[in-house]
Amino acid sequence: MENRTIKAALLGIGTVGGGVYKLVKSLENEMVEKAGAALSICKILVRDVKKDRPGIPRELLTDNWKEIIEDPEIQLVVELMGGIEPARTYIIEALNAGKQVVTANKDLLAERGRELMEAADANSCDLQFEAAVAGAIPIIRPLKQSLAGNHLTEVMGIVNGTTNYILSKMSDEGMDYEEALAKATELGYAEADPTADVEGYDAGRKIAIMACLAFNSRVTFSQVYTEGITKISSKDIRYAHEFGYEIKLLGVARNDGDGIEVKVHPMLIPAEHPLATVKDSFNAVFVHGDAVDDAMFMGRGAGEMPTASAVMGDIIDEIRNLIHGCSGRVGCSCYKQLTVKPIEESVSRFFLRIRAANRPGVLAGIASVLGNNGVGIAQVVQKSKSRQAETAELVIITDQVKESGFQDAMTVLKSLSTVREIASCIRVY
């Protein structure tokens, strides 16, 4: 075997980059046998070269991109900075210079994926991004390659570690939201700005990326309906338990033949459903296709080493491709142009928590508004502190209803003098 060393540069050495560097070191002695060549990280781009970084040789650090892009010996660029710019420019310049690229940057892929893939294809280079979706879970390669023999119709799952950690801690340990978010941040799960996690944007970016690969049609983040977990209270979780459900943040993408439905929102899932048992920073993705039937993938969805595991898999694949001269073999797979349907067309059941006047006839009035808008009631429970209390809480689970009909019913309910507050409105599996 030819005695070769592949030279690579890391762009960023934060949570994920730090994990990747540790894996590179731990695999150093077996990389030639494993991948066919040794790997040398010869430059690391950072913002602040003076920052103390234990275990990282200072001489590798640079804040000058030109030292990387203009070095012809660097064949592989691993982007772990995050954000749109300058990551987008650096990746495109690297591909145009004939370098292979690995990235974990879902924000960028979900918004500018088309131009990145076009640059990769134009230069016969690889752009690999296994770590961009669901951390350690192998899902990009399965969707793009292993399941390519299918017409996939559904991809659904828990794809954000931070929110799954928060919801699990609130549900199992009664931890409050702020404390759980602080712990998720401390553990390195949360994004630099955790708004992206808790408002469902991060999951929205991941479901957009998976929808592209599953349905062979470009879906961007702006086309994904997103709703986060910031309005989920411990009371909702308690009532969900009473009805036999857990609350999870789900990403859903479906292709029913007349367009793609792609959305992220909290959902009540039956406690015995496999997704309800996915806890902590674990993620899980369900896939349905005409040949494979159902398949489920599960693993750690965030954090230093789980994410580094996925990046390292791509790096090793790149070393193999470079050694065998077969880079650029698997390019953009978005060869269809399917319509993305608006949320108003989707159909769901709903969990409703309503604070209403505590007197006879109020429930009948609410039921009549729901019924007049085509919303059937499957279950209802009335909670009042005492018979004398001025208000009571109604918890309703509806039958399946089209979103547009449900929203019409909500508009009428809000206008009723007997309805004091629609406190929660969460979709049900």
Pick between residue 109 and residue 247 the one whose CB is nearest to ligand NAP: 109
Question: Which residue is nearest to ligand NAP, using beta carbons?
Answer: 14
Q: Is 99 a catalytic residue?
A: no
- Cβ–Cβ under 8 Å, residues 342 and 412: no
Residues 6+ away with beta carbon under 8 Å from 335: 216
How far, in Å, CA of 167 to CA of 291, rounded? 34
Crossing angle (nearest 10°) for helices 304-324 and 15-26: 60
How far, in Å, CA of 192 to CA of 10, rounded? 19
Residues in the chain: 429
Residue of the chain from 84, 122, 182, 192 that contacts ligand NAP (CB under 6 A): 192
One character per residue 283-302, x = contact with ligand HSE (rule: CB under 6 A): ------------------xx
CB of 49 to ligand NAP, least distance (A): 8
Instruction: Compute φ and ψ for 49, nearest 5 degrees.
Output: -75, -15
Q: Give residues 202-241 in contact with ligand HSE (rule: CB under 6 A).
A: 202
Distance of CA 333 to the CA centre of its chain: 20
* Count of beta carbons in the 10 Å neighbourhood of residue 149: 10
DSSP symbols for 163-204: HHHHHHHHHHH---HHHHHHHHHHTT-S-SSTHHHHTTHHHH
CB of 289 to ligand HSE, least distance (A): 24
Instruction: Compute φ and ψ for 220, nearest 5 degrees.
Output: -105, 165
How far, in Å, CA of 229 to CA of 266, rounded? 6
User: Which range touches ligand NAP (CB under 6 A), out of 47-55, 166-174, 255-263, 413-421?
Assistant: 47-55
Residue of the chain from 39, 78, 92, 105 that contacts ligand NAP (CB under 6 A): 105
User: Which range touches ligand HSE (CB under 6 A), out of 68-76, 86-94, 120-128, 185-193?
Assistant: 185-193
**228 part of the interface to ligand NAP, by CB under 6 A:** no
Q: Which residue has the tokens 């108003």?
A: 344
Q: How is residue 237 written in tokens?
A: 């979780």
Residues 6+ away with beta carbon under 8 Å from 3: 32
Pick between residue 30 and residue 52 the one whose CB is nearest to ligand NAP: 52
**135 part of the interface to ligand HSE, by CB under 6 A:** yes
Catalytic hit among 43, 144, 169, 206: 206
Q: Give residues 161-180 in contact with ligand HSE (rule: CB under 6 A).
A: 161-162
CB of 48 to ligand NAP, least distance (A): 4
Residue of the chain from 129, 189, 245, 350 that contacts ligand HSE (CB under 6 A): 189
User: Which range touches ligand NAP (CB under 6 A), out of 13-21, 116-124, 147-155, 385-393?
Assistant: 13-21
Pick between residue 197 and residue 246 the one whose CB is nearest to ligand HSE: 197
Which active-site residues does the annotation give?
206
The residues binding ligand HSE (CB under 6 A) are 135, 160-162, 189-191, 197, 202, 301-302
